Amino acid sequence: MSPTGRRRIDLGAIGLAFVLGLGSALAGGPQPVQAARVYEFDLYRPGDFVAQTNLVQCVGASMQMMINLVSARDDRSAATQRRLWQLARQLGPPRPPDRPPRRGASAQGWAAGLNRLDQGPYAVVGYPSLADALYAAARSMRRTGRPVGLLAWGGRHAWVMSGFRATADPAVTDDFRVTHAIVLDPLYPLDSTTWGRSPAPGSSLTPARLGQAFVPRRGSWSGVLSGMWVIVQPIDLQARQGML
């Protein structure tokens, strides 16, 4: 069960080799090579998705979806989205004086807003590769039962990762690879002339497809996270304490 008692999809490891092997044995054919095992985890349910109400509230909409994903009831109201966006703006760092005013909300405000609402703890974390970011996201989701935020478009847009497919269950082994990320883009059904078509809610994307939009953070404002794949990551306090 999730932290709030909400049911989630947890298909576990699917042994394709057993099914194929049984069929071959019955047919008298050769036994197949052991097939790869698949583990899938997903928090998304129809009704969780919320489209951003304008072009600047992607963080507010993403926060709204992240709360919906772990709540018994969905809140898709425009008023809630605006309130969450305002909270993230309030809690984010000040804009440098040589930069124009921020129209959206920062990743730091995104994480701080979720923490203020007792949805965390969350932290903004950068990783040196897409594979590393997906590995950390999947492991954190499995340990906490909470979704992950993705800084898409080099840090200019917010997506939510509601689930994943992997070669093994991150809860029982560190030896796994994420093969698909299940995502929610609050811009949907609109598209970007620069970044292309927005995936439909609950789309399962390969790392190659995800990497077309989830790219390293860049820009003169990126700071220490420049060049990194940045996520808003749920933190497993027990695991962190165990490493101290």
| Domain assignments of the chain as residue spans, ordered by start | 9-243
List pLDDT tens digits, range 182-208. Answer: 999 999 999 998 998 999 999 999 999
When mean pLDDT is compared across 18-22, 70-74, 125-129, the lowest value belongs to 18-22
pLDDT higher than threshold 70 for residue 160: yes
**pLDDT band at residue 95 using 50, 70 and 90 as cut-offs:** confident
Burial 137-168 (b: 16+ CB within 10 A, else e): bbbbbbbbbbbbbbbbbbbbbbbbbbbbbbbb
In this structure, the strands spanning 229-234 and 148-152 are antiparallel
> 214 pLDDT exceeds 90?
yes
**Residue ranges with strand state E in 16-97:** 37-42
Rounded to two decimals, the pTM is 0.84
Locus of tokens 């970044």: 195
196: left (phi over 0), alpha (psi -120 to 50) or beta: left
CATH architecture classification, 9-243 = Alpha-Beta Complex (3.90)
> Tens of pLDDT along 67-85?
999 999 999 999 999 999 9
Q: Which residues pair with 14 in a beta bridge?
A: 38
